[in-house]
Structure 1
Amino acid sequence: MALPIGVAIGRRNEGGGGVNYALPPADGILIDKPNEVIVARHQGSVYAFALSCPHQNTVLRWLADEGRFQCPKHKSRYQPDGTFISGRATRNMDRLLIRRDGATVVVDVDHVFESDKDPAAWSAAVVKVQDSALGTGWEWRVGARWANLRASRPSGEVSMRGFSLLFVTLFPWSVAAQVRPADTLFQVERYLDYETVQSPRISPDGNVVVFGRRAVDKMKDSWETSLWIMNADGSNLRFLLKGADPVWSADGTRIAFLAPGEPGGNQIFVRYMDAEGAVSQVTRVEQTPSDIRWAPDGRSIGFAMVVPSAPDWNVRLPAPPAGATWTRAPRVVDKLHSRADGRGWLVNGYTHLFVVPSTGGTPRQVTTGTWNVGARGIGLPGSVGWDWMPDGRSLVVDGNDDPDADRQRQVSNIYAVDLETLTRRRLTPSKGNWTNPIVSPDGKVIAFLGFSFTKQTYRVSDLYTMPATGGAATLRSQGFDRTPSQLVWALDNSGLYFVADDRGVSNLYLAPTSGPIRPLTTGIHMLTAPSVSKKGTAVVVRTHFYAPPDVVKIDLKKPSQLVPLTQMNADLLGGAKLGEVEEIWYRSADGTRVQGWIVKPPSFTPDRKWPLILEIHGGPHGMYNVGFNPMYQNFAANGFVTLYTNPRGSTGYGTDFGNAIDQAYPSVDYDDLMAGVDSVIGRGYVDEKQMYVTGCSGGGVLSSWVIAHTNRFAAAAVRCPVTNWMSFAGTSDIPLFGFNWFDKPYWEDPKPWLEHSTIFHVGKVKTPTLLMTGELDLRTPMGQTEEYFAALKVLGVPTAMVRFEGEYHGTGSKPSNWMRTQVYMMEWFRRYGTNGTIP
């Protein structure tokens, strides 16, 4: 990302070392050579740095084409927030103490913080500007100069608190950031070379990292995952083997992983991490194992697997004549949840835990009965939350052994299972959604997530601990109002590390066993999949607006420093022009504050009109975030401004915000979306005759709702929608989810079901509408699209239905279909652009 560069002379405070600067209204770099200060605004934060390199004391340069700082002597490079990237420096740029005073930032040039000597102060030396930082009398406007802000200020020279600041700008703060020079745009063909990383796992001794590397197989039109290995400093990166989901043994001598094997499907394998590198297949089972965990002593491996059972109902028929070919027997279905999107018909049976010797052998089933291990919040099998006790004699697991569990939504318990007697004991006494137990290293405490039973559609999960023997639970996330996930115990039993979504970002947190939760990282990024070594170093997956997922390392003693270990897409993006992303906050119709982001074309200038795409997320309880998104960058490359937001119903903003659409979906979320569009229009660069709306799943619900309630959009692409809540509840793979949206079933009170079904508002639609759904979709089945398509055809509204081969829910799991989705949408939008000026 290239940022604007400004040059200025600050004004010192009387009697002190502070230098005053105007709080910048847009991302950019300000260099004040006389005072030896760099001021940078980057992704919603303002930083101040000493002008010199922390290693050689030479004056740093700003590389506008790369969006990076560099030392001209030894070529060390740094991010706009001062974070070290590469070179001989090995530490971050020196930050200066900075504070905000109204519309001014005050930099204390006498207090320099070095990241390795005072990491806490280094991390704290930042001013956040993303949440109305200018106070009630100001508002951000893209492209606006200080004189055009709501508070009156003279042009050119700004007078504040008796001092003046003279800007001599090379590129004003107010000018939109210029794109880096590049050869090509992010067109759809680049997606074929796109890669991601997943499940990084650091060895217990902290010396080696194994992770999954996911890339496109262009010949098979699929995604393939292989395991790669590197040193913990990122060096000696190399291919290890085909497989996924690596897990280290406690002594670090082996990894277990999943890979295709005999007699079919994924099986458990073990690789010895010595020079020989022998690999052995541990399981040879008919069903697919999952959720593998090493026993503490390394002698066995536990896993989850479905245990098939015969149907309860069999009928007797005469035997067919010799050589006859009769029709296959019918499928007898007696469970509410019998299919799963992405899988098809589920094996009739129950999911249980097994233990197998780590050298191979016959798995031993350790949970039994007509119940499922693993929490099933929406009724379908997913990951199983379970953990070994340190002595290896018992384990804890989530699940629901109620005979009526198939009709219970968001109900799960935590059980202790004795591996000798195979008896189980329920540890959570109250009804609720209790999940993901994890045992402390000393075996004394069990941490878990959940909440007491509620019929509400959304509720933040809290973090609890309880004695390993059971008993009263202690709430550890009081006042946090965000859902912790991916829990990892500190090795000294002092607390739990976790990540949590919060207003579009995800960071690493620590929940001490005594004291409040505190953030360990604060960046504008998404961090996931933490893995912690005995040395106190962690690896996570990190992504942000301009960087696809990569592995980074964190020293938990100095968590503000994130050290990149991989750059999987450096070759792909090195020559690409990327669209700039701007975070916005705006007010909805009733005053509710809503967060969103604007992605602009690489050639964006604010003095012309641009077509706008409103992209709506699904869920509906989900969160759009600051991670890299190929869809938005492809829209930008094709000349579209994209707005994506988190309307009410979204996660990451607390229970009340997420639950605002309970039994009222769609409703206020529509208001939030339209207010976001108005906010972008108010910036002056949107062509209101070339606005388009799209979204998948819950986004399909809302995009079909939008075009029934406004004609402001020139065209729509409604992807994998729910259009009729009644038929959805009976044909989707998640029927309880459908019934839970309303207080009463439709046979008792059909009115709300009809009012919130977009099919019953279709008569008001005038917008040309493209419908797109996977042929195999079991989540929002094709019938939902067909009903809406037929109605639009009868109404005479321009429409087309695109049915994607080989796709379950969504239209982009196969690389070629992802490209088709993009091309079909943009071609439809161009077809119905009012003046044909879309690039």
Structure 2
Amino acid sequence: MPDRTLITATDLYGYRYTSDPQLSPDGARVAYVLTHLDREEDEYRSAIYVVPSDRGAEPRRYTYGAKRDTTPRWSPDGRGLLFVSDREEKPQLYVLPADGGEARKVTSAPNGAGDPAWSPEGTRVAFISRTGVDPEEEPKDIVVLHYTEAHFKDDAQGIKRGRGHLFVQELDSEDVTQLTEGEDDYAEPAWSPDGEMIAVVSSQDPERAFRRYSDVYLVPASGGQPTKLTTDKGPSFAPAFSPDGRTVAYLGHADPPETGLSTNTGLWTVPTEGGEPRPLTVGWDRSASNEDVNSDSRFGANDGGPVWSPDGACLYITATDHGATRVYAVPSGGGEVQAVTGGGRTVYGFSIAGNRLATMAAELLNPGDIYVSALDGSGETQLTRVNAAFLAGLALSAPEAIAFTSTEGAEIQGWLVRPAGYREGERYPLVIEVHGGPHTAYGHAYFHEFQLLAARGYGVLFTNPRGSTGYGQDFTACIVKDWGTRDFADVMAAADWAEEQPWVDRERIGIGGGSYGGWMTAWALGHTTRFRAGVTQCLLSNWSSFYGTSDIGPMFGEWMVGGTPWDNPQGYARMSPITHVAQIRTPLLVIHSEEDHRCPVEQGEQLFVSLSRLGVPTEFLRFPQESHGLTRGGKPKRRVENLERIIDWFDRYMPAGT
């Protein structure tokens, strides 16, 4: 076997990311998206690939170009493949023959098209496009932006302009019909089996800027007023019609006052004609989601359900349990929830056709591949190995599952990465990583940053403290209005566990994380001097200013802290790391993105300026034009620079090899 090389920050350019697996209607093929990083152009490039379900041939590339082709969707008869492409600047819909060939442009929406859905007879396509925006207007030409609603920005979109509306495009002509209008956004279109109705998601709650409720609406495909279908409080999203068209399934929760935003997302059904929604996952103490498990090594959209079985007897969803995200089957008439997929994996997306299930799944040492199995999970076949050759040349460190007990008897799960070239009897520095959220998790997913730290001689310990998902409602919700108590105790228990390992140098333990993990890093350094160095990324440092500057400020603050900053100034101050900044003595690197609308850059500025005034060793990295998702989808060169700066900081204050 040839020698393996230690991983570097620039190895980020070597990965390939699979996403969005879509089975053809006959189950014979799987279309998926393959994304890579273009080093020269500093961009992401995506193409559509198709692979036979029986692994009888190698994957075949279906689309070519210098930009991004995404969202493959088979026509109902399996003869066409629809996709979204930005090859002409604005994303538009294209369709190509199922056996390959020249793609035909389907839409010419002035502000682009996305979120496509085939009509059941295959002659129409529903999509979402923004209206109320002049596509020719340059930012420099804007005189003023006028808002009357407090939710005027979004981390994914930036400052909001216009509204997302539902359109239907005829495929045999240029006829396109706008089905919704007004000052409400619509998303996630899903056709009824008879082609008469389209289910969409919209938030029309007068208080939507402060609590983000959403509902499922039915829109006549021939035109007419949307009809509200769901009646419960809280978020309702991801609608899917039953095969007989009599029922709509969706995900959401009823926002109960005792758990609120921290409530498990459940699976629900509601009659198409209207009526009382029925929860199907009551008593199952997990949350339906495919977004829980953190990773810096995945790219692209994936579907987490719900998806109906062809006979309507079951619904399929994803959920995370102890760091592994699986596909689960839920009887549509009610009954026990059963795991379909297993093992140490994170399923980020799936689709169903006939008796077959296609999944995109990641592992601790694999960013992700495409698999196919029977609908019950049996007979699984791996269809792709997109990173096998690249990873075979790298000296990776396999994460080891660990567990320890924290305060109140809480059992905490985690994973330990030993330094590359680890030798018994030697002592090494270690970095404790804290995930974002807080209602997300670490788990069975690949992390380039952690492997890079290991390659540079650091151990890495990443855990799921209380507040994480995948361990039940109580575990998730117990930190609400009480950040910095149980969760902080769990982080310190992780440090205790690390110090007990004979190879860990207790004088060289660092801490780092982003978003909530950045908050915890700053919080920890304001409450202990046990850590030698810290790196905080895109953090929340001041709850009071976050309330008025974040795209989720009022909603998140009123739930997580309680009340408003003027009603509860003591609570907002207590849970803010900036309040405790005078107690920080540990060198801290502050990293932030200038277009972060989730935790705005002023949050990092406050902490950096305060630390500088206090004489604490600190530096501030500002990444222009980047959002809250810098480490997952920022410009490749900036991601590499960010990784190098993190390593340099730890090398400066707790170097490996000493």
Instruction: Please give the TM-score of this superposition, normalised by the length of structure 1.
Output: 0.72
CA contact (8 A) 1:410 1:453 kept: no
Tell me which amino acid in the other structure corresponds to 2:112.
T
- Pairs within 5 Å for 1:103-252: 182-234=3-55, 235-242=57-64, 243-252=69-78
SS in 1 for 2:498: helix
Can you list the C-alpha shifts for 1:329-372, whole angstroms capped at 9, x where unaligned? 2222322121222432211x332211111235132111233322
Report if the CA contact (8 A) 1:270-1:358 is conserved. no
Q: How far apart are residue 273 of structure 1 and its match?
A: 1.6
Residues 599-627 of structure 1 deviation map (CA, whole Å, 9 limit, x = unaligned): 11232234322111011111121111111
Map 1:489-528 to 2 at 5 A: 489-514=308-333, 515-528=335-348
C-alpha contact 1:700 1:719 (8 A) present in aligned 2:
yes
Q: Which residue of 1 aligns with 2:84?
A: 258
Q: Which 4+ runs in 1 deviate beyond 6 A? A: none
Question: Who is 2:429 aligned against?
Answer: 611
- Does residue 792 of the first structure (1) align with residue 614 of the second (2)? no
Deviation, structure 1 residue 392: 0.4
Instruction: Kindly report which structure 2 residues correspond to 1:345-494, keeping only aligned pairs within 5 A, or say none.
Output: 345-347=159-161, 349-373=162-186, 384-402=187-205, 404-455=206-257, 456-484=260-288, 485-494=304-313
The 8 Å contact of residues 412 and 433 in structure 1, kept in 2 or not, is answered as yes
How far did 1:580 drift?
2.0
Larger radius of gyration: 1
* Alpha-carbon distance change, 353 to 468 in structure 1, aligned in 2, over 3 angstroms: same
Corresponding residue for residue 509 of structure 2:
691
Rate the CA distance shift 1:207–1:631 in 2: closer, same or farther, 3 A: same
What is the one-letter code of the residue matched to 1:525?
R
Deviation at 1:588, TM superposition (A): 1.1
1:228-257 per-position Cα deviation (integer Å, ceiling 9, x unaligned): 122223323222114101111111011111
Aligned to 2:637: 816
1:267 and 1:285 in contact (8 A); partners too: yes
Secondary structure of the corresponding residue to residue 612 of structure 2: helix
Q: Which residue of 2 aligns with 1:273?
A: 98
Match of 2:388 among 570, 583, 587: 570
What is the Cα deviation at residue 436 of structure 1? Answer: 1.6
Q: 2:246 corresponds to which letter in structure 1?
A: K
Quote how far apart the aligned CAs of 1:405 are. Answer: 4.2
After TM superposition, the structure 1 stretch with the greater mean CA deviation from structure 2, 458-467 or 329-338, is 329-338
The whole-number CA distance in structure 1 between the counterparts of 2:173 and 2:39 is 35
Q: Deviations over 1:165-197 (max 9, x none)?
A: xxxxxxxxxxxxxxxx74201222221111110
After superposition, the C-alpha distances for 1:444-493 in whole angstroms (9 at most, x for unaligned) are: 22211222133523110111223222223332212212122421110111
Instruction: Say if 2:564 is the partner of 1:750.
Output: no
Structure 2: unaligned runs, 5 residues or longer: 135-139, 289-303
Mapped partners of 2:409, 2:606: distance in 1: 36
Q: 1:214 to 1:712 in 2, by over 3 A?
A: same
Shift of 1:741: 2.5
User: Match of 2:291?
Assistant: none
Q: What is the CA distance between 1:386 and its match in structure 2?
A: 3.3
Q: Which of 644, 649, 653 is matched with 2:467 structurally? A: 649
Q: 1:590 aligned to 387, 408, 432, which one?
A: 408
**Deviation at residue 440 of structure 1 after TM alignment:** 1.1
CA deviations 1:257-315 (Å, max 9, x no partner) are 100255x410011112246x2321111111232211000000100012222179xxxxx
8 Å CA contact 2:348–2:362 kept in 1: the answer is no
Paired residues of 2:557 and 2:564 also in contact (CA < 8 A):
no
Q: Is the 8 A contact 1:283 1:360 kept in 2?
A: no
What is the SS of the residue equivalent to 2:522?
helix
Name the amino acid aligned to 2:80. Answer: R
In structure 2, the CA distance between the partners of 1:284 and 1:600, relative to structure 1 (3 Å rule), is same
- What secondary structure sits across from 2:526 in the alignment? helix
Mapped contact 1:601–1:638 kept (Cα < 8 A):
yes
CA 1:837 to 1:274, structure 2 compared with 1: closer, same or farther past 3 Å?
Answer: closer
**3-state SS of the aligned residue for 1:753?**
helix
Could you tell me how far apart the structure 1 residues matched to 2:480 and 2:124 are? 45
List per-residue Cα deviations over 1:528-553 (Å, max 9, x = no partner). 2111122x112111111112211111
Post-superposition offset of 1:568: 0.8
**Secondary structure of the structure 1 residue equivalent to 2:269:** strand
Letter in 2 for 1:298: G
Deviates more, 1:603-612 or 1:642-651: 603-612
- The 2-side partners of 1:667 and 1:346 are apart by 36
Name the SS of the counterpart of 1:740 in structure 2.
Answer: helix
Structure 1 residues 684 and 412 mapped into 2: Cα distance closer, same or farther (>3 Å)?
A: same
CA distance in 2, matches of 1:663, 1:749: 11
Relative contact order, higher structure (CA 8 A, sep 6+): 2
Unaligned 5+ runs, structure 1: 1-64, 66-180, 311-325, 374-383
Moved more, 702-711 or 357-366: 357-366
Q: Structure 2 residue aligned with 1:631, among 442, 449, 457?
A: 449
Letter in 2 for 1:236: E
Aligned 8 A contact 2:349 2:361 in 1? no
Distance change in 2, residues 1:614/1:265 (3 Å) = same
Matched with 1:740 is: 559
Q: How many residues align?
A: 627
Which residue pairs with 1:340 in the alignment? 154
Give the partner amino acid of 2:268: Y
Report SS of the residue matched to 1:457. Answer: helix
Contact kept, 8 Å, 2:10 with 2:640, in 1: the verdict is yes
Choose 691-700 or 653-662, whichever is displaced more: 653-662
State the distance in 2 between where 1:539 and 1:520 align.
Answer: 12
Q: 1:370 to 1:807 in 2, by over 3 A?
A: closer
SS of 1:486's partner is: coil
Aligned to 2:568, the other structure's residue is in SS state: coil
For residues 712 and 550 of structure 1, the distance between their equivalents in structure 2, rounded to whole angstroms, comes to: 40
- Displacement of 1:327 in angstroms is 8.3
Mapped to 2, the partners of 1:370 and 1:239 lie a distance apart of 41
Q: Report what 2:298 is aligned to.
A: none
Structure number with the higher helix fraction is 2
8 Å CA contact 1:489, 1:495 repeated in 2:
yes
Distance 2:142 2:275 in 1: 52
What value does the CA root-mean-square deviation take over the aligned residues? 2.0
